Amino acid sequence: MKQLLFHENESFWFETLRSLGHSAYGGADFGEVLYTAGRITSGDYDSWYDEWSATAERLWEVAVEAQRGGHAVTARDTYLRASNYYRTAEFFLHGDPGDPRIRTAYDKSIDAYHRFVDLSGPTIERVEVPYENTTLPGYFYPSPLPGRQPLIVMHNGFDGTAEELRFLGALAAQERGYHVLCFDGPGQPGTRHSQGLLFRPDWENVVGPVIDYALGRPEVDPDKISLYGASLGGELCVRAAAFEPRLKAVIANDGVYDLGAFAMKFVGGDRAEAERALTAESAPETDAAIAAVMRSNPSARWAFEHGQFVMGGATPREFAARMLDYHLRDGIAERVTCAVLVCEAADDLFFDGQPEQVHNALTTSDKTLLRFTEEEGADAHCHFGAQRYAFGKMLDWLDDRTPVNR
């Protein structure tokens, strides 16, 4: 998709497109996004925070005033957009985990979203999923249809939230008659900010407890449970399906075969050489190479800084070494037996070519590679430019495998 703003900074443009795309399901308004983006200095993370938080604060006041005046629908919808803008505001701040603006904006985002939930009646429910010695925060979107209905379990990826999933498939699925259960797993915002949990590669040990919880809900059809993962979640969900037999279908939006391949771009050599360099006790040349790319490439800078925040590692190289554990190699993809839809963006900023690798590695009898194009407005990572179109295609595929009970 043509870069319309921030021409010299693809990362700022992509996050702006992300917000524009959320307009399709109520997460933004076009003019609000353009006005905010127009006031931001490209590449200036403080400017990004200041302008998005200012827009969020303004809308928060609008929502409060509307609620005070008894205008519940206006308040509900405005809290929802404010929540999404607060989320956007703190996006680039994770290079300094002690920055107080991170928690300030995140907590306001959650507060706004919970106010949205409170004003939404029975269409959405806050939940806490038992997990090891704690709980995972999430939301249950009940089907509008009576009786037991199929369930889609949804999680985000490297940087997205459970709240954002409303715009990334949850509402689209609920409209079609599905129950939807969204959650934040370890390393994702709901657990990273409040509990300090970091990502773990064995995602089946996260999804398993979520399915256990779901099966305790009488409205869920236990024979029609599917799993959806966005962005890095496109690797995590397929990994989970390799070890979780209760799943009937999986949607990887988009497919990710090997997160470590991202790190290897900056190291050089074959995989074995890259792994040795990344995991060595000392590797000054590799450290210097990563530092250089972080200075010259805004997307790489954000990825390494945020990666240390959510996966750990005292240095960017230590984080890069942890990325090596997130993959579908070594027979993992071949273990999947349920139906799998692998989505691909024609102009993916992060994982170009990897969806096809996922599809080729799968040996299940029911696998589909669905490529989204510029002509469809859906060629960006996770198809942010055409969310209603993209989720229509994904959910039609799922409906042929776990149809709602009418």
Domain ranges of the chain: 10-118, 123-259+326-399, 261-323
**What span, in angstroms and rounded, lies between the C-alpha atoms of 17 and 29?**
12
Q: What is the pLDDT of residue 277?
A: 87
Strand-pair category, 125-131 with 134-141: antiparallel
CA–CA distances in Å: residue 328 to residues 62, 145, 257, 300, 369: 46, 36, 5, 23, 16
pLDDT of residue 161: 98
Say what the pLDDT of residue 349 is.
Answer: 82
Q: What is the pLDDT of residue 20?
A: 96
- From CA 261, how far away is CA 395, in angstroms rounded? 29
Q: What is the DSSP letter of 217?
A: S
Contact 203, 185 (CB under 8 A): yes
Q: Residues 261, 270: contact at Cβ < 8 Å?
A: no
Please, what are the averages of pLDDT over each run of 10 residues along the chain (406 residues)?
87 96 97 97 96 98 98 98 98 96 98 98 98 97 97 97 98 98 98 97 98 98 98 98 98 96 78 87 90 89 95 94 95 98 93 95 98 95 95 98 95
Q: Which residues contact 363 (CB under 8 A, 6 or more apart)?
A: 333, 334, 336
Compute the distance between CA of residue 12 and CA of residue 353 in angstroms, rounded to an integer: 23
Distance separating the N- and C-terminal Cα atoms of the chain = 39
pLDDT at 267: 74
Strands 179-183, 339-345: pairing is unpaired
The per-residue pLDDT for 353 is: 93
- Coarse DSSP helix, strand, coil percentages of the chain, rounded to the nearest 5 percent: 50, 15, 35
Which residues have a Cβ under 8 Å from the Cβ of 185 and sit 6 or more positions away?
136, 155, 191, 199, 203, 206, 236
Give the pLDDT confidence score for residue 35 in this predicted structure: 97
pLDDT the model gives residue 272:
84
Q: Give the helix/strand (H/E) hosting 26.
A: none
Which class in CATH covers the domain with range 10-118? mainly alpha
CA distance 376 to 390: 9
Determine the pLDDT at residue 273. Answer: 84
Helices (H), 133-188: 170-175
Give catalytic residue positions. 231
Residue 127, strand partner residues? 138
Q: For residues 299 and 174, is the Cβ–Cβ distance under 8 A? A: no
Dist. CA 386–CA 97, nearest whole Å: 33
Q: What is the pLDDT of residue 258?
A: 95
Contact 378, 348 (CB under 8 A): no
SS3 345: strand
pTM for this prediction: 0.96
The tokens of 210 are what? 């979520």
Q: Three-state SS for 4?
A: coil
Half-sphere exposure (Cβ direction) of 37: Cα atoms closer than 13 Å = 23
Which residues have C-beta within 8 Å of that of residue 346, sequence separation ≥ 6?
371, 372, 373, 374, 379
CATH 3.40.50.2300, applies to 123-259+326-399: no
Contact 229, 236 (CB under 8 A): yes
Task: Decide: helix, strand or coil at residue 366.
Answer: coil
Provide the token pair at 221: 């059809």
Please state whether the peptide bond connecting residue 254 to the residue before it is cis, i.e. omega within 30 degrees of 0. yes
